[in-house]
Structure 1
Amino acid sequence: MLAEPIPSSPDECEIVSTRVFKGSKELVFLAWANPDHLQNWWGPAGFTNTFHEFDFRPGGMWRFTMHGPEKGNYHNECEFIRIDAPFLIHWKRHSQPLFQVLVTFEEVTANTTRVIFKMLFDTQKECLKIKKFAVDKNEENFDKLEVELTRMASI
């Protein structure tokens, strides 16, 4: 079976966040691939998660509820499209707002990894609606990932 092609979209339909993290590519990938780690850091500052299903394989579903810091529970349903460990994770959201996510992991040094997180939208209009807040929220998400990676490295 051929792997799904790596998606792309015009720049005006993408939100891209990039950061270099301390940790090997394998360790950083594990923080995304293992639900015990992922639920500790996924989401903006103050958010927590309840994972209902995490079937980490192409065609597998990721269903979870994000709990806002003040109020609100946000149901999310995603389908994993392609996983190439420890290089790439691609998923598609089936809940609003609709977009695809492509995460790539690049070794910078033996103990540092560049993560490129792309949110891919069908239209520029859809992208602009989310971009207003997603850029800052993605940075908060990465801040929480750094804390989880420090915790994982000390185990």
Structure 2
Amino acid sequence: MSDKLEIRNERVFSTDRATLFDTFADPDKLALWWGPEGFTNTITAFDLKPGGDWLITMTADNGTEFHNRWTFDNVVEGELIRMTHHEPVHVFTLDMRFAAEPRGARLSWRMLFDRTPENEELERFLHAANEQNFDRLERLLEERKRER
């Protein structure tokens, strides 16, 4: 058994890779889809470059606020964002890979956590929450397509 817990999610979206990447790289768009269903977001810092910070407050539909602090570790325009989540609660890394596909663009997420009993309990929840993230992103992309 590995000392790391890995959570993977991926989906092909019916858009091009540059547009898909932009939905993360543009904090105004990112705030509209980040997080599981029922959350709204306020982004107070977003410096998309290695060493840059991302500060986001995620507010649940019951009003509970979750202040999140991230650091961007590596950014390759249109291809890769690697970042570290520092708080709250657990530290982990997230790789977001963007790839062109015949039917659109693929977004692959790979989260790496230290293997702890607490993180193992979170695994199923986080996989489902990531799918909700992707659902929200898909809806945003469809809305933008209709607006054109």
User: Is the 8 Å Cα contact of residues 58 and 67 (structure 2) preserved in structure 1?
Assistant: yes
State the AA in 1 paired with 2:19: L
**Number of matched residues?**
145
The aligned residue for residue 56 of structure 1 is 48
The aligned residue for residue 121 of structure 2 is 129
- Which stretch of the first structure deviates more once superposed, 92-101 or 128-137? 128-137
TM-score by length of 1: 0.87
Q: For 1:105, which of 98, 102, 115 is the aligned residue?
A: 98
State the AA in 1 paired with 2:106: R
Q: For 2:132, which of 140, 145, 155 is the aligned residue?
A: 140
C-alpha distance in structure 2 between counterparts of 1:93 and 1:148, whole Å: 24
Shift of 1:122: 2.2
C-alpha distance in structure 2 between counterparts of 1:14 and 1:88, whole Å: 18
C-alpha distance in structure 2 between counterparts of 1:87 and 1:126, whole Å: 32
Alignment of 1:85 with 2:77, yes or no, is yes
Shift of 1:124: 5.1
C-alpha distance in structure 2 between counterparts of 1:14 and 1:78, whole Å: 18
Look up the SS of the partner of 1:94 in the other structure: strand
Structure 2 unaligned residues grouped into runs of 5+: none
Q: For 2:28, which of 4, 22, 36 is the aligned residue?
A: 36
Look up the SS of the partner of 1:70 in the other structure: coil
Q: For 2:141, which of 145, 149, 152 is the aligned residue?
A: 149
Shift of 1:127: 3.5
Shift of 1:135: 1.2
C-alpha distance in structure 2 between counterparts of 1:11 and 1:47, whole Å: 31
More strand by share: 2
Identity, % of aligned positions: 35
TM-score by length of 2: 0.91
C-alpha distance in structure 1 between counterparts of 2:104 and 2:53, whole Å: 29
Q: 1:93 to 1:12 in 2, by over 3 A?
A: closer
User: Is the 8 Å Cα contact of residues 16 and 104 (structure 2) preserved in structure 1?
Assistant: yes
Look up the SS of the partner of 1:146 in the other structure: helix
Look up the SS of the partner of 1:13 in the other structure: strand
Look up the SS of the partner of 2:55 in the other structure: strand
Alignment of 1:47 with 2:47, yes or no, is no
Shift of 1:130: 1.9
State the AA in 2 paired with 1:89: I
Look up the SS of the partner of 1:121 in the other structure: strand
